[in-house]
Amino acid sequence: MNARGGALMRLRGMVRKESLQILRDPSSIAIAFVMPVVLLLLFGYGVSLDAQHIPLAMVIERPDANSASFAAAFQQSEYFSPRRFDSIQDAEQALRERQVDGIVWLRGDFSRRLLAAGDAPVGVILNGVDANQARIASGYIQGAWQSWLQAYASSHGQELTLPAAVEQRVWFNPALRSRNFLVPGLVAVIMTLIGALLTALVVAREWERGTMEALMVTPIRIGELLLGKLLPYFVLGMGGMLLSVAMARWQFGVPLAGSFWLLLATSTLFMLVALGMGLLISTVARNQFVAGQIAILVTFLPAFILSGFIFDIGSMPAPIQFITHVVPARYFVAILQTLFLAGDVWPVVLGNAAALLLMMLIFFAVLGRKARKRLE
Amino acid sequence: MVNAGSPAALACHGLGKTFSSGSRVIQALDGIDLTVTPGRITGLIGPDGAGKTTLMRLAAGLLRADAGELRVLDLDVSREPLAVQSVIGYMPQRFGLYEDLSVQENLDLYADLQGVLAVERRGRYAELLHMVGLARFTARLAGRLSGGMKQKLGLACTLVRPPRLLLLDEPTVGVDPVSRRELWAIVQRLVREEGVSVLLSTAYLDEAERCDEVILLHQGRLLGQGTPASFSEPLTGRCYLVNAPTIPKRRLQMRLTALPAVADAIIQGESVRVVARAVGPLDLSSLDAGPAGVEIRPVVPNFEDAFIIRLQGEHDATTEESPPLPMAATMANDDAAVIRVDRVQRRFGEFYAVKDVSFEVRRGEIFGLLGANGAGKSTTFRMLCGLLPASGGQLEVAGHDLRHAAAQARGRIGYMAQRFSLYGNLTVAQNLRFFASAYGLTGQRRRERIRWALDGFDLERYADMASGDLPLGYKQRLAMAAALMHEPDILFLDEPTSGVDPLARREFWHRINLLAEQGVTVLVTTHFMDEANYCDRLVIMADGEVLAQGTPAETKARFRDAERSDPTMEDAFIALIEQRAQTAGEPA
């Protein structure tokens, strides 16, 4: 038998063995298919960074046509659900009891000061315990005030006397739905889970059960052994990726603006990076507990927190921003969010893909140096 | 030399290997020179930590030697590990079968990895499966096989491409005696019919005598190499079987051990086997055996005698006479049953781990539960300790029904689990203090008991060492001391000697005998057939059932026939298993 035939036969043996084990092991299936579905449902439906129906207290000291029109603007908005209070004292009490998240206070001289076109006659008090929510509410209230002012001015045939008018237009995600950028980012987290965590666990299991020692003493080359591990989990990981993309597209209605093939190509690259990390961990950790801990700490948590998937990298402190550069998921999240929401923006995709390619080459180079058919 | 022209199966010169863990450096092998003759079975014998596994792994190319040269079938292992790996077969101690693959799938995997051509496979599979007796089970998952069957499948996987050198690392550990015999028959056939060279390590000294040649390792150094007989011959004229009708065998053994003229004394059957320190008549008049006297018969020395004497010379620390254990009070020996087990069952789903087991243990008895792995010994034990409720039947320990008063019963028992169950990162003294507190000892009493444990078990010099770093024999002493902290009336020992070398096993049984003399009831499980002779009475278990019950002599006598005038416990055990297989095989 020639050398290549032998190598192919050994590789076939490894791949067949791994595939049978994946099919028979409920925990592999759970990590590859059940976890993604659970995570997607959780983030798709459960987590929302948008503010809607913010409970607001409206205090109108002297009701007249102007103040009624202003209150109606809040009533119609889907962002607020206002409640009327008669006095500011009652409203403050409601705020303290967290029945409302903010107070909009129109004093008795609202109409007079409005006509004088001087300073703003609207008082706003917000509950700052949830800072994020308060910031969003403040922005919305200002927006509501400005659009009402414009409407008021045009209906009264007046020129609006604001120093500068801001005209906002949001690109790529006009409705500002947080789901639209969370769900694509989640694909990176799920692929990290399958590529790094699952791979590190299954190799550690071979050490634990003593099967690794028996494998190593056969004529298999270390490269064949690694490739035999890599191929089945690559297929599994890409399966998890396709499942997530399908759910994003059809379950959550996230538009895929870019090309599917570009998505597939960049996902392949990221999958290889994740597998490289998993195999590297497995050269260090020889029991499942340690392998799991390392994989979660080094791959999963950074993919979650430092990738820009939930938390914006631009608003992190500089040292943390610096650290995010070694988190592969960061580059893939950027690619995913661009491909899903903006389309094939080549400079973004290529730049990040180059970073992933570099990381992949580094991981496999280290793996090639570290992985040995030895027990020490 | 059988094949004078062919190269040695394995040859090494000045071979050395060290491991470092933290600041400690362990010399696993030190300047080993040896040659393994091809076409024979060579046994690698030595206590724990002798370096047997390290030598095997070096030969398989899994470790790299620090010093010296190692050639396998004339190939330099450090330079051409892959070439070596394609001509040898290696079965590690825990052979890596994939438990979620079937027998056939495991074979296929190793056939692929070993490059066995498709056309050759069918014939080789049939041959191997027939040889290991698994032909009927090809579709069964490996995880569902019994321990012995797994070991045989492991061997079949190693043999799927006929190797020229077969390395077997403790292939028979934990395997039931029937499978052990079968494994040996397979190995002997391979050598005879296929001309394979075999290097086999073992902790069972009786297996050494089945080897053509023996290599004796101790603490990383080579103590000797030669035929088994070449080791035992120098002891000719120093070995005896001693009987004293008036002295019970355990007491006789203890008194013989104490004599200065005696180098070693162990119970063998109904007699005590003695190795004298020198050739010449053995004077046992100091035993005061009464009018019946002492019967002394010279016997032919065996490998175990030679092994113990050889190691005693190497290892003065372990032969150091340990002081007798002072127990606070000596309890009376009477015939009251302190443990009653009546038709006890334990089910796990559909599976009966224990079914209809009944026995009684009297005060001060050493009572053995003998059986292979998976026979239901440990399950029975856990029920007796109140750790596992029985599915049916009655269990009574020290007068307490375990269904209602498990806690009271537990206060009267000491339990030493099969695996080291102390805190490895606490020191010896900290472990003892913890266990004393856990058993509710305080103040003066607590200090006394800790002192007792440190003195009685010779643990003083290790008091400040993390217990995880202790030598195995000392770990076991510490575990036993912890189990005896609260002076229990009953001591449960679950496979206490598994993995412990023959020297430490001797010392351990010496302590058990002392305890029994003081009236402590000892219940012990073991899969070492020769240890069964240390018990007063025993039950033999298989598949959750009791197959036989009685004294060791009674049990063995049932199988005395024309062929076997003096059957061993192993013969009895195998005969019982065969009997059972026959009755089970008959259509109901």
What letter does residue A313 receive in the DSSP assignment?
Answer: G
- In angstroms and rounded to an integer, the radius of gyration of the C-alpha atoms of chain A is 28
Query: Which position has the token pair 């590190």?
Result: A200
For residue B235, what are its two tokens?
């002891």
Q: Least CB-CB distance to B64: which of A209, A216, A374?
A: A374
Q: Any long-range contacts for B302-305 (C-beta under 8 Å, 24+ apart)? A: B302/B209, B302/B232, B302/B239, B303/B205, B303/B206, B303/B208, B303/B209, B303/B214, B303/B228, B303/B231, B303/B232, B304/B205, B304/B206, B304/B208, B304/B502, B305/B232, B305/B235, B305/B238, B305/B239, B305/B264, B305/B273, B305/B275
CA angle B155, B160, B162 (to 5 degrees): 100
- Under DSSP, the state recorded for B7 is P
Q: In CATH, which of 1.10.3760.10, 3.40.50.300, 1.10.10.10, 3.40.50.1000 is domain B10-229?
A: 3.40.50.300
Cβ of A9 within 8 Å of Cβ of B115? The answer is yes
d(CA B481, CA B461): 15
For residue A366, pLDDT over 90 is answered with yes
d(CA B421, CA B415): 10
Mind listing the pLDDT tens digit for each residue in B347-404? Answer: 888 888 898 999 999 888 999 998 877 788 888 888 888 888 888 888 888 888 888 8
Lay out the sheet containing B10-21: strands in order across: B24-36, B10-21, B67-72, B75-76
Place of tokens 């010399």: B27
Determine the pLDDT at residue B11: 94
* Direct distance between the N- and C-terminal alpha carbons of chain A, in angstroms, rounded to an integer: 32
Asked if the C-beta of B79 comes within 8 angstroms of chain A's C-beta atoms, the answer is no
Asked if A210's CB is within 8 angstroms of B95's CB, the reply is yes
Residue of B nearest to A10 (CA): B113
| Residue that is written with structure tokens 């014998």 in the block | B45
Residue B391: exposure state from Cβ atoms within 10 A (0-12, 13-18, ≥19): middle
With CA atoms as reference, the chain A residue closest to B93 would be A210
Task: Convert the pLDDT of each residue in A181-198 to its tens digit.
Answer: 788 888 898 899 888 998
Give the tens place of pLDDT for each residue, A84-127. 888 888 888 888 888 888 888 888 777 777 776 656 678 888 88
Q: Which chain A residue has the Cα nearest residue B104?
A: A17
Task: Tell me the chain B residues in contact with residue A205 when contact means C-beta distances shorter than 8 Å.
Answer: none
By Cβ distance, the residue of A17, A218, A375 closest to B57 is: A375
Q: Calculate the average pLDDT of chain A.
A: 85
Q: How far apart are CA B214 and CA B302, in angstroms?
A: 13
Give CA–CA dist B542/B527, Å, rounded. Answer: 11
Query: Which mean pLDDT values do the consecutive 10-residue runs of chain B (588 residues) have?
Result: 67 91 79 93 87 92 92 92 92 84 94 92 92 90 85 92 93 81 92 93 87 92 92 91 84 85 85 88 76 84 89 59 47 70 88 89 90 82 86 87 80 82 86 90 90 88 84 83 90 82 81 86 86 88 89 87 82 87 63
Query: What pLDDT does A117 receive?
Result: 60
Domains, chain A: 3-47+177-370 (no CATH), 54-155 (3.40.1710.10)
Check CB contact under 8 Å for B94 and A209.
yes
Give CA–CA dist A328/A300, Å, rounded.
Answer: 11
Q: Which of B18, B20, B91, B112 to mutate to test the interface with A (most CBs of A within 10 A)?
A: B112
B319 to chain A, any CB pair closer than 8 A? The answer is no
Same fold, B10-229 and B331-412+490-496+521-588: yes
Chain A residues whose CB is inside 8 A of the B110 CB are 13, 218
Task: Tell me how crowded residue B582 is: count the other CB atoms within 10 A of its CB.
Answer: 9
Q: How far is A227 from chain B (nearest CA, A)?
A: 14
Q: What SS3 class is residue B439?
A: coil
Closest CA to B122 of B139, B133, B135, B137: B135
CB contact under 8 A, B61 and A20: no
Cα-Cα end-to-end distance for chain B:
55
Cα A371 from Cα A362, distance rounded (Å): 14
- Listed residue (A157, A244, A158) closest to A194, CA to CA: A244
Q: Residue B24 and residue B19: Cα distance in Å, rounded?
A: 8
Average pLDDT over residues A354-367: 94
Give B509 to chain A, closest Cα distance, Å: 32
The domains of chain B are located at 10-229, 232-319, 331-412+490-496+521-588
Short-list B418, B302, B370, B373, CA closest to B531: B370
CB B276 within 8 A of CB B240: yes
pLDDT bracket for residue A160 (50, 70, 90): low
Distance CA B63, CA B515 (A): 44
User: What are A14-67's pLDDT values in tens digits?
Assistant: 999 999 999 998 888 888 889 889 988 888 887 766 667 888 888 888 888 888
pLDDT level of residue A174 (50, 70, 90 thresholds): low
User: What size, in residues, is chain A?
Assistant: 376
Using the Cβ of A225 and the Cβ atoms of chain B, whether some distance falls under 8 Å is answered with: no
Interchain contact, B62 vs A209, CB within 8 Å: no
- The distance of A277 to chain B (nearest Cα, Å) reads 24
Cα–Cα distance measured from residue A13 to residue B110, given in angstroms and rounded to the nearest whole number = 8
B111 CB neighbours in chain A (<8 A) are 13
Q: Considering only alpha carbons, which residue of chain A is nearest residue B113?
A: A10
Q: Render pLDDT for A195-241 as a digit per residue (tens, 0 to 9).
A: 899 899 888 888 888 888 889 889 999 999 999 999 999 999 999 89
Q: Tell me, what's the pLDDT at B1?
A: 41
The DSSP element (H or E) to which B294 belongs, if any, is none
Chain B nearest C-alpha distance from A176 (Å): 49
Q: Chain B within 8 Å of A314 (Cβ-Cβ)?
A: no
Q: Are B232 and B307 in contact (CB under 8 A)?
A: no
CATH topology of domain B232-319: Alpha-Beta Plaits (3.30.70)
ipTM over 0.90 threshold: no
**Cβ atoms of residues B412 and B398 within 8 Å:** yes
Q: Which chain B residue has its CA at the smallest distance from A2's CA?
A: B115
pTM, full prediction: 0.80
Q: What distance separates the 2 farthest-apart alpha carbons in chain A?
A: 99
Enclosing H/E stretch for A103: strand A102-106
* Sign of the CA dihedral with B322 first, then B326, B330, and B334 last: negative
Nearest one of A77, A76, A133, A70 to A104, comparing CA atoms = A70
Q: Which CATH number fits domain B331-412+490-496+521-588: 3.40.50.300, 3.90.1150.10, 3.90.25.10, 3.40.50.800?
A: 3.40.50.300
**pLDDT, tens only, B111-165:** 999 999 999 999 999 999 998 889 999 999 998 887 788 889 999 999 999 999 9
Contacts of A212 in chain B (CB under 8 A): 96
pLDDT exceeds cutoff 70 at A300: yes
Nearest chain B residue to A375 by CA distance is B62
Query: Between A11 and A311, where is the model more confident?
Result: A11
Each residue of A253-286: pLDDT tens digit? 888 899 999 999 999 999 999 999 999 998 888 8
